[in-house]
Amino acid sequence: MSATTAGDEAMRAYGTQQVVPTFDDPAFTPLDKPLAKARVAIVTSAALHRPDQDRYTPADTRFRAFDRTDRDLIMGHWSPNFDHTGFQIDLNVVYPIDRLEELAADGVIGEVAPRHFAFAGNQPETVSELRLDTGPACAQELLADAVDVVLLTPV
Amino acid sequence: MSTLAHVFEAAGLSTVVLASMKDVAEKMSPPRTLYCEFPLGRPLGRPGDVSFQRGVLEQALGMLGATEPVLETHPEVVESEEMPLVCSIPPRFDASLPPAVDEARGLRAAYDRAVNARGATAVGRAIDADAVTEALAALHRWAEGEPWQEVPLPGTNTIAVCHDIRAYYTEAALELATGPPPGGRAAEAWFHEDTEAGKTVMAARAALKEQGAPFPFWFYMAPAHR
């Protein structure tokens, strides 16, 4: 195996060893309308931020919101173990906002949400703040924007 | 991401996760999951490929019709090494400078063009582009064996400074590169195997380890598998 390929394999192998949080009786929210009438938002863990927003600290549990028109975003992820160049070439490979606009224009989805959100993928291991504080706070922001569907993209 | 899916569903939102680690997704079982074996850091698979990205989204959004938890796998695997980054290194200009410092100076024009084109740069966690050569000079001194506590690093935080150096290099390289978009690990391989800066980072990292510097100071200066 070359050093080039080893990175993703090493990280995926590490992923299998990770202790993950458990959810008793997880919720399942069916979409109560056709996708063609649904409002869709993207939430990513790529630690994206606008140049004028706070950078992420290494164990940042907060989220950043940006408008559907923002494109000059920065990937502030702290891990050196993931590719950043795909995002530099085309932000849609992490944050598919242009694709979402096209799906809305073609009537596949109803609408693109006015705001989209980012968290940092490297969270403290217990993810307690994400579960109990910043995650639910982000959900309230999404509900305030009348969002029906959230597409989650990981980095 | 799977944690957020559970939190959002509990709040009354319908979610779809594009998962990059299958074991984690299976263990955490978010309500609707599309597992994609794509390069890590590229959840939509291929930069600049509109129809491929659209296909991923259509499969993911198609899962919203499900009435119970569902995990699907995207039919295509995208390998992280499928396309190298082809970017030549600037020739030596000032032989009195450490090689990495000379090299970083040579890339400055390309870096500036890249920032102008994108309107944003990832450089700036700890140092700006003007301090990249100074940071490389300090890393060079560490690599040469000078005690790290006696040679200050601009920006201080080794992890953030190395992110900034790598971002400076890859933003310049993508401006100079020709051919199709490089694969997910191509820029990392180019930086660490072909550039003087990458070699300097690795040598400084080894020197910190040798000198007994705290583990987090040096370990995260480069990808874990290196």
Per-residue pLDDT of B156-171, as tens digits, reads: 999 999 999 999 999 9
Interface of A with B in 72-111 (CB under 8 A): 72-90, 92-94, 96, 99-100, 102-103, 108-109
Q: Long-range contact list for A127-134, CB < 8 A, 24+ apart?
A: A127/A21, A127/B3, A129/A61, A130/A61, A130/B3, A130/B4, A130/B7, A131/A21, A131/B3, A131/B6, A131/B7, A133/A61, A134/A61, A134/A62, A134/A63
Q: What is the pLDDT of residue A5?
A: 55
Q: What is the pLDDT of residue B139?
A: 97
> Of B46, B61, B16, which Cα lies nearest the Cα of A104?
B61
Strand pairing report for A64-67 and A111-112? unpaired
B162-212 residue pLDDT tens = 999 999 999 999 999 988 889 988 999 999 999 999 999 999 999 999 999
Nearest Cβ partner for A90 among B47, B119, B193: B47
> Of B197, B103, B28, B62, which Cα lies nearest the Cα of A154?
B28
Q: What is the pTM of this model?
A: 0.92
Among the ranges given (A17-21, A23-27, B25-29), the one the predictor scored with the smallest mean pLDDT: A17-21
Beta strands in chain B (DSSP E): 14-19, 32-35, 70-73
Domain boundaries in chain B? 2-73, 99-219
Q: What is the pLDDT of residue A13?
A: 83
Strand pairing report for B70-73 and A115-118? unpaired
- For an interface test with A, which of B40, B202, B217 has the most A Cβ atoms less than 10 Å from its Cβ? B40
Question: Is there a contact between B132 and B168 (Cβ–Cβ < 8 Å)?
Answer: yes
Q: What is the pLDDT of residue B101?
A: 97
Contact between chains at B3 and A31 (C-beta distance less than 8 A):
no
Mean pLDDT confidence for B133-137: 97
Contact between chains at A14 and B42 (C-beta distance less than 8 A):
no
Give the percent of chain B with pLDDT over 70: 100
Using a CB–CB cutoff of 8 Å, tell me whether A37 touches chain B: no
Using a CB–CB cutoff of 8 Å, tell me whether B16 touches chain A: yes
Contact between chains at A88 and B61 (C-beta distance less than 8 A):
no
Nearest CA in chain B to A149: B14
* φ, ψ for residue B42, nearest 5 deg: -135, 65
Phi-psi region of A100 (alpha: psi -120 to 50; beta: other; left: phi over 0): alpha
Using a CB–CB cutoff of 8 Å, tell me whether B88 touches chain A: no
Alpha carbon distance B205, B143 (integer Å): 8
Rg value, chain A, Cα: 17
State the pLDDT confidence band at A2, using cuts at 50, 70 and 90: low
Alpha carbon distance A39, B32 (integer Å): 17
Bridge partner residues of B73 (DSSP): B35
Strand pairing report for A74-75 and A149-153? unpaired
Among the ranges given (A7-16, A87-96, B123-132), the one the predictor scored with the smallest mean pLDDT: A7-16
Strand pairing report for A64-67 and A115-118? antiparallel
- One DSSP character per residue, B35-53 reads E----TT-TTSSTT-HHHH
A85-131 residue pLDDT tens = 999 999 999 999 999 999 999 999 999 999 999 999 888 777 888 98
> Of A149, A137, A152, which Cα lies nearest the Cα of A96?
A152
* φ, ψ for residue B151, nearest 5 deg: -115, 100
Contact between chains at B41 and A27 (C-beta distance less than 8 A):
no
Given a cut of 50, whether residue B99 has pLDDT beyond it is: yes
Given a cut of 50, whether residue B92 has pLDDT beyond it is: yes
